[in-house]
Structure 1
Amino acid sequence: MPTVLITGGHKGLGLEATRTIAARGGYDIIMAGRNIGEVDAAAHDLRNRYGATIRTLTLDVASLASVRSGADAVRSLVREGSVAPLQVLLLNAGAQFRGPIEYSVDGHELTFATNCLGHFLLLNLLQDLVHDGGRIVFTASGTHDPDTMDGKMVGKAVEPDAYRLANDGRMGKPLSGGIRYSTSKLCTMLHAYELDRRLRAAGSSIQSIAFDPGLIVETGLMRTAPSFARGLMRTSGMKWMLRRMGVTMGSITFSGASLAKVAIDPAFAAASGKYIQSKNGQLIEARSSVMSQDKGRAHKLWMDCEQIVGIG
Structure 2
Amino acid sequence: MQHTIVMTGASRGIGRVAARHILRRSPDTHLLVIARGSSGARLTGELGTDGHAVSHVSADLGSLDSVRSAATGIRDRLASGELPPLRGFVGNAGAQYTNALTEGPGGFEATFAVNVLANHLLVRLLQDRFTAPARIVITTSDTHFGDVRHNMGMVPGPAWRSPDVLARPGAFPEPGTTAAGRTAYSTSKLATLYLVHEYARRLPAGIDAVAHNPGFVPGTGLARDAGPLSRFAMRRILPVMTLTPFATSRRVAGRHLADVALGTLPAPTGSYVDRDRVDRSSEESYDPRRESELWEAVERFTAAYRAGADTAPEDAAGRLAPADRTTAERPDGRR
TM-score, reference length from structure 1: 0.89
Q: 1:297 aligns with which of 276, 283, 290?
A: 290
The aligned runs of 1:144-155 (5 Å cut-off) are 144-150=144-150, 152-155=153-156
**8 Å CA contact retained: 2:135, 2:261:** yes
Q: 1:238 to 1:255 in 2, by over 3 A?
A: closer
How far did 1:51 drift?
1.4
Q: Is the 8 A contact 1:275 1:285 kept in 2?
A: yes
- TM-aligned CA deviation for residue 193 of structure 1: 1.2
Following TM superposition, by how much is the alpha carbon of 1:133 offset from its aligned partner in structure 2, in angstroms?
A: 1.2
What is the DSSP-based 3-state SS (H/G/I as helix, E as strand, rest coil) of the residue aligned with 1:221?
A: coil
CA distance in structure 2 between the partners assigned to 1:275 and 1:171 by the alignment: 27
Query: Aligned partners of 2:238, 2:195: CA distance in 1, in Å?
Result: 36
Task: Figure out how many residues of one structure are paired with residues of the other and give that number.
Answer: 299
Change (3 A) 1:148 1:297: farther
Q: For 1:41-60, what aligned pairs fall within 5 Å after superposition?
A: 41-48=42-49, 50-60=50-60
Q: Does structure 1 conserve the Cα–Cα contact (< 8 Å) formed by 2:142 and 2:150?
A: yes
Pairing of 1:1-312 with structure 2 (within 5 A):
1-24=2-25, 25-35=27-37, 37-48=38-49, 50-99=50-99, 101-150=101-150, 152-169=153-170, 173-174=174-175, 176-199=180-203, 202=204, 204-235=205-236, 239-240=240-241, 247=246, 249-268=247-266, 270-278=267-275, 283-310=276-303
Counterpart in 1 of 2:321? none
- Judged with a 3 Å threshold, the aligned counterparts in structure 2 of structure 1 residues 261 and 171 are, in CA distance, closer, same or farther, namely closer
The aligned amino acid for 2:294 is L
Q: How far, CA to CA, are the matches of 1:237 and 1:10 in structure 2?
A: 21
Deviation at 1:62, TM superposition (A): 0.9
TM-score w.r.t. length of structure 2? 0.83
Q: 1:190 to 1:242 in 2, by over 3 A?
A: farther
- Can you list the C-alpha shifts for 1:138-163, whole angstroms capped at 9, x where unaligned? 01100111245345420110115211
Q: Structure 1 residues 237 and 191, CA, compared in 2 at 3 Å: closer, same or farther? A: closer
Q: What amino acid sits opposite 2:39 in the alignment?
A: E
Structure 1 pair 133/162, CA: closer, same or farther in 2 (3 Å)?
Answer: same
Separation (CA, whole Å) in 2 of partners of 1:89 and 1:221: 21
CA root-mean-square deviation: 2.2
Inter-partner Cα distance in structure 2 for 1:44 and 1:240 = 33
* Cα offset, 1:168, TM superposition: 3.0
1-structure distance, mates of 2:12, 2:234: 19
In structure 1, list runs of 5 or more residues that go unmatched: none
* Cα deviations by residue, 1:84-125 (Å, 9 ceiling, x for unpaired): 221101111111111472101111111111110111111011
Q: 1:81 to 1:238 in 2, by over 3 A?
A: closer
Name the % identity: 33
What's the CA shift for 1:228? 2.7
C-alpha distance in 2, partners of 1:67/1:288?
29
The letter of the residue matching 2:47 is: L
More helix by share: 1
Deviation at 1:172, TM superposition (A): 7.1
Contact 1:189 1:210 in 2 (8 A): yes
**SS in structure 2 of the partner of residue 220 of structure 1:** coil
Could you say if the C-alpha distance between residues 259 and 182 of structure 1 is closer, same or farther in structure 2, counting changes exceeding 3 Å?
Answer: same
**1:231 Cα deviation after fit:** 2.5
| Paired residues of 1:155 and 1:179 also in contact (CA < 8 A) | yes
Question: Which piece of structure 1 moves more, 143-152 or 58-67?
Answer: 143-152
Contact 1:160 1:187 in 2 (8 A): no
Q: In the alignment, is the contact (CA less than 8 A) between 1:27 and 1:53 conserved in 2?
A: yes
Structure 2 residues not aligned, in runs of 5+? 308-335
Q: Work out the CA distance in 2 between the residues paired with 1:16 and 1:211.
A: 15
